[in-house]
Structure 1
Amino acid sequence: MSRLRPPLKVALARSVDDLPRGPFAYEPKFDGHRVLIFRTPGGALLQARSGRLVGEAFPDLVEAAHALPDGTVLDGEVVVWSEGRTDFAAVQKRAMATASRAVLLAGRLPASYAAFDLLAVGDEDLRALPYEHRRARLVELLSPLGPPLQPVPVTTDPREAATWYETLPRIGVEGLVVKPLGLPYRGGRRDWQKLRHADTRDAVVVGVTGSPERPRALALVLPGDDTPVISRPLAPGLRLRMAEALAGAAEPGEPGPDTGEAADGTVFRRVPGELAVEVRRTTTRQPLTEVLRLRIPG
């Protein structure tokens, strides 16, 4: 069997301002939950970008992974579709579910897996192969299976990629990931490029600093990652609106720890519900996350 086992570092992308042109592959950038799937002789393991195992939260994907050959390792994004659009808040609700609720949520909010790389099959480690070879193997492997495990669309035509960039936001796809055709898969390296439609994105509120009644800043989970980050201090108006939203967002039956720890070590108080906010994320050496507005479900 493949020597690859979790935790495994994932390949990363750096932000660019213009559409790169050259011998590239262009893929839609789904804002979901980055997950590696490991098919093992005893079943399947799901690893988040942080290295945490998250299979209990996605039992539908664990079951689907049983159709893969032993030793298969996939890299991709877990997404949930709602009314024809991807719904990041729904993905995060799935990711945060307790084991007892995960099966119920799998029926209400079924997960799809948008696979964009194949790292291993059987006893073959494919990471040293060029991207275009791995992509061909990925399509060959997944095409007979169908949903919920599917390869992401891809084009090598920059004109078609530009059309995707302009038209796909209506279904919740906010940009493109650009990959050199001849590049190997290098975990932890920012060899890929990502072009977003804007410098804003949605994030899910998982906690606060201060108290729910008087929040100073928010603990947020951003698309593609499961490690919370702390926002910049909230403006006074946002503090008031967030306190009001939290007061009405409690959802019974979700036991869990009262506190959590963000990527920078900040301890925050967990909050219930599934509130989403729009944020601006800087690309400096020490990125800052500014909350722009709440996205309250209507």
Structure 2
Amino acid sequence: MELPVDVALAKAVPTLPAGEGWWYEPKFDGHRTIMARTAEAVVLYARSGRVVTPWWRDLARAGEQLLPGTVLDGEAVIWTGHHIDFSAAQSRAASAPARALLLSHQLPAAYAVWDILSHPSLGDVRGRPYVERRGLLLGVLSEIGPPIQAVPATDDRDVAIAWYSGLRDQGIEGVVAKRAGGAYPGGRRGWVKIRHADTRDATVVGYVGARSRPRALALALEGEVRLTSRLDPVVAARIGAVLAGVSELGLAMVREERYTAVEARVVVEVLVGTGRHALLTVTRMR
């Protein structure tokens, strides 16, 4: 397997999907990390592909228990008591390597693993179904103890909803849903996720992309203009039909992204994510 890899991503949705063929995992709030055990060492990669081993030496040492040829996908997290502390993980990642080493002694990291990309005997397994990869992951980690552990997984939606409702205080920021028969969707948003969020009304002050089917919206919310995440195709079509009758005011910028400003007439309902992400997901028009 050529490293670094394109990691799989998840699309934000307003509700947890239901029906046969779905598996669910709690979403940990940390730093996305690929762990690769080579014949010589353990190398850790960030989502961007950057080598981050010097910042997570404790996890690299723990990864030496793995057999060469193992590549895992997961989250580097730091627990403070019984709560996942993202600020502690952020502080370590932003420190100089020497400072990160000191922090690792004060607050050791854990590695919450949800997928296996390469198996020591089978090689690249990204094309295999999720349920098969899950079994391979559990097998590889069967003799491996903390701080490397597989995240819980279930095909029972009621259990997933209980995780979503009951684990928020522990730092679990939501639930990720994956198709049982799905391959590893490297480089694309092939999984879906729900995060803890508040529902609010916001006024549309602009759009990104085509007017008839915008890619995202610029919203006036709590005294500032913010961009939404990518719109659902059905929602985009409905909003596009309404925007056809709204006057345009020219181009504007928000956070280095250009959008077309419009008269503020349209109101939409959005899910406002909590925590560091705080994504805006449009659920419907008002």
TM-score normalised by structure 1 residue count: 0.67
What is the rounded CA distance, in whole Å, between the counterparts of 2:281 and 2:96 in structure 1?
Answer: 33
Q: Secondary structure at the match of 2:73?
A: strand
Displacement of 1:199 = 5.5
Code of the aligned partner of 1:16: V
1:189-268 correspondence to structure 2 within 5 Å: 189-198=188-197
Displacement of 1:125 = 0.5
C-alpha deviations, 1:21-74, integer Å up to 9, x for none? 121111000111000001111101100001111000010011011111111100
What is the rounded CA distance, in whole Å, between the counterparts of 1:72 and 1:283 in structure 2?
Answer: 36
Aligned to 1:153: 152
What do you get for the CA RMSD once the two structures are aligned?
2.5
C-alpha deviations, 1:171-198, integer Å up to 9, x for none? 0112100000000012111110001121
Which of the numbers 40, 46, 49 marks the counterpart of 2:47? 49
Aligned to 1:163: 162
Aligned to 2:141: 142
What is the rounded CA distance, in whole Å, between the counterparts of 1:280 and 1:127 in structure 2?
Answer: 30
Displacement of 1:143 = 2.5
Given the superposition, is the C-alpha separation of residues 80 and 16 from structure 1 closer, same or farther in structure 2, using an over 3 Å criterion?
same
Aligned to 1:256: none
C-alpha deviations, 1:192-251, integer Å up to 9, x for none? 000112159xxxxxxxxxxxxxxxxxxxxxxxxxxxxxxx9x979xxxxxxxxxxxxxxx
Given the superposition, is the C-alpha separation of residues 186 and 60 from structure 1 closer, same or farther in structure 2, using an over 3 Å criterion?
same
Aligned to 2:130: 131
- Aligned identity (percent) is 46
Aligned to 1:19: 16
What is the rounded CA distance, in whole Å, between the counterparts of 1:264 and 1:111 in structure 2?
Answer: 34
Aligned length: 214
> Given the alignment of the two structures, is residue 9 of structure 1 paired with residue 35 of structure 2, yes or no?
no
Aligned to 1:121: 119
Is contact 2:44–2:51 with CA below 8 Å preserved after alignment?
yes
- Of 55-64 and 118-127, deviating more is 118-127
TM-score normalised by structure 2 residue count: 0.70
What is the rounded CA distance, in whole Å, between the counterparts of 1:188 and 1:37 in structure 2?
Answer: 17
Code of the aligned partner of 1:281: L
Aligned to 2:248: none
C-alpha deviations, 1:64-96, integer Å up to 9, x for none? 111111111000001100121000000111111
Given the superposition, is the C-alpha separation of residues 264 and 74 from structure 1 closer, same or farther in structure 2, using an over 3 Å criterion?
farther
Aligned to 1:218: none
Displacement of 1:4 = 3.1
> Considering only CA atoms, is the larger Rg found in Structure 1 or Structure 2?
2
Code of the aligned partner of 1:153: P
Greater fraction strand: 2
Displacement of 1:17 = 0.9
Displacement of 1:281 = 2.2
Displacement of 1:282 = 2.5
Aligned to 1:39: 37
Unaligned runs of 5+ in 1: 201-231, 237-262, 266-276, 285-298
1:272-287 correspondence to structure 2 within 5 Å: 280-283=278-281
